[in-house]
Chains A and B, each alone.
Chain A
Amino acid sequence: MLDEKKIKKLLKEMYLISLTTVPDEVLQYLKKIIINSDNSRERSIAKIMLENASLAEKNRCLVCQDSGLPVFFLKIGETNPLILRLARLISDVVSQVSLEIPLRCMAVDPITRKELRDDNIGVGVPILHWDIDPKFSGIEIISVPKGAGSGSWGRIKIFTPDAKREEIDKFIIETVLRAGSNPCPPVIVGVGIGANFDEVPKLAAKACLRGLNTPHPETRFKEWEKELFSKINQLGIGLMGLGGENTALAVNIEYTYTHKPWLPVAVNLQCWPDRKATLRIYNDGSYELFKGARLDG
């Protein structure tokens, strides 16, 4: 069993990785554009994005100056004494990194707009999403700093159960259209369907977390994702809203069953750097620390 000092060191490293790297699948996506696109403006932008990602990772500096609100997705496998201390350890690490780099303080009172402290800690911040998964033999923490560029453009709507598929598609695609160049496209479009008002945005966030090349295991949603992906790219918004066929990095849908009288739908947009990093601590004391996130485990 790892001691608290070691765990804190790993958490800090995970948070730093999520701020200073871009997942490999996004880098691959950009390389493909550089090789295949016949749009010279798009190729130039993709080259700049790639160069920045490489520089940030090599020099351990921020990918984006908007280090975002600190958000963490936690998966707990079994009862583990660490659970009681994880929230505090994560707060400590966010505070430390915020003061050391230093990061801009992004956590403010929603009414006064004032920071509580210098270090991105506030009432309810860092944001922690807890999940219990009895099949998982350890603890997984994914750091997903959420910036305002893309974070400002999510939407939720409660449709009636007889809403046509076309109405829902229109809502999803319109969310990307109205965001335009603002969320730093190409974006991951995360769609949540079902559940209720409080849970459906979380489904959309989890959908974003799946990243690229992760079609839904159910054919009906896999097909729907493919169709939305094609239609969104047909809008031609492109990299940084400057045109081209690559507006969406991916479209992912997550669903749960829902209540008979309603059909909630939420859309979450994730900007092109898709910043995230994962720490897994297994019950035998071994661990994995990597940029991005994986569905296995």
Chain B
Amino acid sequence: MAEYKLQIPLSDEEVRSLKLDDIVYLTGNVITLCYSWHFRKVLEFLYNKKQPPMKLMGGVIYHCPGGFRKKGNRYEIKFVGSTTSSKFNLYTPDLIRLGSIKAVIGKGGMDLQTLRAMSEFGAVYLATVGGCSALYSCKVDKVVRVYWPQSHWANNVWELRVYNFGPLMVTMDSFGNSIYEEIMENAKRKFNNMFPQ
């Protein structure tokens, strides 16, 4: 188990060197996508071979429905935290394939299709511990930009500057290994032994 302090954008080499259980701290800009329509909107650009307004290559997506307060014509961050990543299983493989993102920050992991895309194109899943907003909020510096502002701030896509953001645990690596798959396969086996058909 190793610890890394990495800068965003991430390189293929950096991502390929990460192993399960490694701990990562990130510095740089992350993009928060936390609703299905956020993903569909970004993918619409990519499917039409157009560049979305945010820089994705080498970038990091954060499944974060955060809290923000407007101060004049700027926003300050009140809190961040991870929502359940599996909600975005459908969209993430294409985001990795077409957007060249290098990492996803969330909680609870993602599915086999996402794991395959991570393996094929070089990306990792970085898990936060769920229910730990206070801890992770300390590592967020400021709002860099708002994309597609909505009538309520809770529905916006944000670009956030983070500094030593972590601890983030590598729980899905870029070689087809997922701690979640291993644990759940084991759990299903135990369950089937408890309740044979």
Residues of A within 8 A of B (CB): 40-41, 44-45, 48-49, 51-52, 55-56, 59, 61-66, 101-105, 115, 118, 148-149, 152, 166, 169-170, 173-174, 177, 180-182, 184, 231, 234-238, 240-243, 271-273
Contact = CB atoms under 8 A, between A and B. Distances in A.
Given A63-B133, A184-B108, 10 more contacts: A55-B135, A61-B79, A63-B132, A66-B65, A105-B152, A181-B107, A182-B86, A240-B107, A243-B182, A271-B130
17 contacts: A44-B167, A52-B131, A61-B134, A62-B134, A63-B132, A63-B133, A64-B131, A65-B66, A65-B83, A102-B78, A103-B67, A115-B152, A166-B195, A180-B108, A184-B107, A231-B194, A241-B183
Contact of B83 (A40, A44, A66): A66
Q: Is the interface of B mostly helix, strand, loop or mixed?
A: mixed
B50 interface: no
Contacts of A62: 67, 79, 81, 133-134
Given A65-B67, A173-B191, A231-B194, A181 B180 contact: yes
A241 B180 contact: yes
Given A55-B138, A174-B191, A181-B109, A236 B186 contact: yes
A60 to B, nearest CB: 10
A152 B9 CA distance: 34
Nearest to A56: B134
A181 B108 contact: yes
A148 B35 CA distance: 13
A237 B182 CA distance: 10
Nearest to A100: B69
A101 B190 CA distance: 44
B184 A180 contact: yes
A279 B21 CA distance: 42
Contacts of B195: 166, 169-170, 173
Nearest to A64: B131
Most buried by B among A101, A180, A242: A242
